[in-house]
Amino acid sequence: MKLLLTRHGQSRWQTDGNSAGVDAPLSRLGELQAHRLGRYLQQHAEIDRIISSNLSRAHKTATIAASYLDLPVTVEPALREFESWDAGSPPAPRAIWEPAPVSEPHPEHRAFRARICAALKQIIGDGEDDETVLLVAHGGTLGTILRLLLGSEVQRIWTLNTALHSLSWTGKFWLIQYLNRVEHLPRPLQSS
């Protein structure tokens, strides 16, 4: 089984801030990114299923990409973003290599992680051994999936809009094949 993970295209929340609301739609750039993603996948991937968060920015990204692949989109509400982020100040580049203080994760983070875990178990359990599933979700959701694989609760993992991340099951472990692949997006279409 192979999982292709992607974050939604740029959203209005990224351009307009909190005024765009929790369920912010895609910006014009986000729609262009989704079209580029769909064309790229049409030429370079064999996708069997597409599963998306129910938030409009992820669902619209999935729907646009699916139009190039002639596939339906299954909505999975459990893939929705964590809704009370407090980003705090970013760490210094060297600080991430220092041992992190051991602390108990906030109960909301534990619940978010458990929700993502349960969704992944369901998605993988429903799948075929040889299928490729495209998951369209959010930065926090994808970061959590990657942290689960890495066994880390603290490391921040940033995912670019519509960047692709490939995970393959080897029969013994999940292999991270690549992260943040954006060759389908020329420079003006890349955003964070």
Q: Which residues contact 73 (CB under 8 A, 6 or more apart)?
A: 50, 51, 52, 59, 62, 63, 66, 136
Q: Which of 50-59, 77-86, 98-107, 176-185 has the highest mean pLDDT?
A: 50-59
- % the chain with pLDDT above 90: 64
CA distances 147 to 69, 97, 169, Å, are 29, 15, 16
What are the sequence ranges of the domains in the chain?
2-14+24-81+103-189
- pLDDT value at residue 191: 66
- pLDDT value at residue 98: 61
Strand ranges (E), 103-163 = 132-137
CB 18 within 8 A of CB 185: no
- At residue 77 the predicted structure's pLDDT band, cuts being 50, 70 and 90, is very high
pLDDT tens digits, residue range 126-161? 878 899 999 999 999 999 999 888 887 766 788 999
| 63 pLDDT above the threshold of 70 | yes
**The whole model's pTM is what?**
0.88
CB 13 within 8 A of CB 21: yes
To which CATH superfamily is domain 2-14+24-81+103-189 assigned?
Answer: Phosphoglycerate mutase-like (3.40.50.1240)
- pLDDT value at residue 175: 93
